[in-house]
Amino acid sequence: MIMTGDSAARISLATFPTPLEPAPRLAAAIGLRPDRLWIKRDDLTGLGGGGNKVRKLERTVAAALRDGADCLVTTGAAQSNHARLTAAAGARLGLPVTLVLAGHPGHPGAAPAGNLLLDEIFDADIRWAGDADDAALAAAAEQTAAELAAAGRRPAVIPFGGSNRDGAQAYADAARELRAQLRDQLRDGLGGTLAGQATSVVALGSGATMAGLVAEFGPGQVIGVHTGAVAAPAEAVAGLVAAVTGQPLDHRELRLRTDQVGDGYARLTEPTTAAIRLAARTEGIVLDPTYTGRAMAGLIAAARDRDLGRPATPVVFWHTGGLPGLFGHPEAAAIAR
Ligand SMILES: Cc1ncc(COP(=O)(O)O)c(C=O)c1O
């Protein structure tokens, strides 16, 4: 079903609204007032194990269908959540999906675990692109699409991470969903005022999730925690914000934490390990080693630095999913100890 309720059409893949849950024990453990911290459960978007990419796919796949696509191609790291959810979306819609992934067949990282296991269960065609950087992956995806077209198919290439204008627009929609929930759920009579002042904290990968939130809330109310997925995160986010709002944004206005990358995107860090344990042991919430664990480590650091606004204002942690990545991460066993 294609819906045309607002600026661009989207298809229905997710379950909305995702819950907004209080996290009082976690808040107290990191030095915040217990009633201040909320978790926006975008890990519960429904399709294919859930996560933020489902919202983006509602719009990026709608655009592909409008263009007449009969199959989908996308790219990512071996443990890409976006690739897994594109495979799930294709399965839901009856569209064959080809995933062009960084890595080598036969290497341990190509074993069917975590997201890769799900990619195979969703019956995606996996092509390995070797040690490819972003540009090489994009070129490999175009090459794959050309081969499919030569074979008589009509492929659409869904961008890396689902991050283009449509992907960011999906998170502007999500921001409006959150604002309505905060107004409903804040019970102190100042709900409307406080809801308007909430600070969102979110993992920053390819950038459209943060960009959509910034497009709706403004740059002062969103903290993006850089995961090391892209080389120039602030520029990427600012460009995507501008694509949604139609207004240029100086990337220096964005609030980014770049202190959680550690030894790189693929490596587990000590603060991430501590954050995953703390969220699990105070709230029974599972985070992942690459995105949401890093984002929570960034939130904990921001609380320590008193960078989360005045004591009464809400702080919303966006749980963007990624659980399969925990089971596909080579260092995950260290989190158990
Ligand atoms: C679980 C999870 N959280 C957050 C993100 C970051 O979203 P974005 O790529 O829009 O910055 C990703 C991106 O891959 C992700 O998989």
Per-residue pLDDT tens for 275-294? Answer: 999 999 999 999 999 999 99
Buried residues in 306-317 as b, exposed as e (16+ CB within 10 A)? eebbeeebbbbb
- Inform me whether the pLDDT recorded for 190 exceeds 60: no
Residue 230 Cβ < 6 Å to ligand 1: no
Beta carbon of 296 within 6 Å of any ligand 1 atom: no
Q: How far apart are the C-alpha atoms of 198 and 183, rounded to whole Å?
A: 11
CB neighbour list of residue 130: distance below 8 Å, 6 or more residues apart: 102, 103, 104, 136
User: Per-residue pLDDT averaged across 220-242, rounded?
Assistant: 97
**Range with the lowest mean pLDDT among 1-5, 66-70, 87-91, 268-272?**
1-5
Is pLDDT above 90 for 195?
no
Ligand 1 pocket residue status of 45, Cβ below 6 Å? no
Higher pLDDT, 179 or 187: 179
> Nearest C-alpha to atom 5 of ligand 1 is from which residue?
205
- HSE of 328, CA atoms in CB hemisphere, 13 A: 23
Closest atom, ligand 1, to C-alpha of 171: 10
pLDDT in tens, 19-36: 999 999 999 999 999 999
- Read off the pTM: 0.96
Distance 81 CA to ligand 1 centre (A): 8
> Which residue's CA is minimally distant from atom 6 of ligand 1?
205
Residue closest by Cα to atom 1 of ligand 1: 322
Q: What is the pLDDT of residues 102-137, one digit of tens each?
A: 999 999 999 999 999 999 999 999 999 999 998 999
109/128 Cα distance (integer angstroms): 11
> Which of 42, 164, 206 for mutating ligand 1's site (highest number of atoms within 8 Å of CB)?
206
**Ligand 1 mean position, distance from CA 56 (Å):** 10
Beta strand 37-41 pairing with 20-22: antiparallel
Q: Which residue has the higher pLDDT, 3 or 172?
A: 172
Is the C-beta atom of 50 inside 6 A of ligand 1?
no
71-76: strand order across its sheet: 125-128, 97-101, 71-76, 155-157
Instruction: Give the pLDDT of residue 9.
Output: 85
CA atoms within a 13 Å half-sphere pointing along the CA-CB vector of 59: 24
Instruction: Determine the Cα–Cα distance for residues 292 and 44; give it in Å rounded to an integer.
Output: 14
> For residue 72, which of 181, 195, 198, 158 has the smallest C-alpha distance?
158
Per-residue pLDDT band for 155 (boundaries 50, 70, 90) equals very high
Across residues 225-250, what is the average pLDDT?
97
Q: Give dist(CA 259, CA 115) in Å, integer.
A: 26
Share of the chain above pLDDT 90, in %: 91
Of all atoms in ligand 1, which is nearest to the CA of residue 292? 3
Using alpha carbons, select from 185, 175, 196 the residue that is nearest to residue 245: 175
- Whether 203 lines ligand 1, by a CB cut-off of 6 Å, is yes
Mean pLDDT along residues 307-319? 94
Whether ligand 1 lies within 6 angstroms of the CB of 90 is answered as no
* Residues linked to residue 315 through DSSP beta bridges, in sequence order: 37, 199
pLDDT at 4: 39
Q: State which ligand 1 atom lies nearest to the alpha carbon of 322.
A: 1
- Is residue 298 lining ligand 1, measured as CB closer than 6 Å? no
19 phi and psi, to 5 degrees?
A: -65, 150
Q: Is 248 exposed, middle or buried (0-12, 13-18, 19+ CB in 10 A)?
A: exposed
- Residues marked active site are found at 80
pLDDT at 196: 83
Residue with the smallest CA separation from ligand 1 atom 7 is 205
Q: For 139-148, how does the pLDDT look when each residue is reduced to its tens digit (9 = 90+)?
A: 999 999 999 9
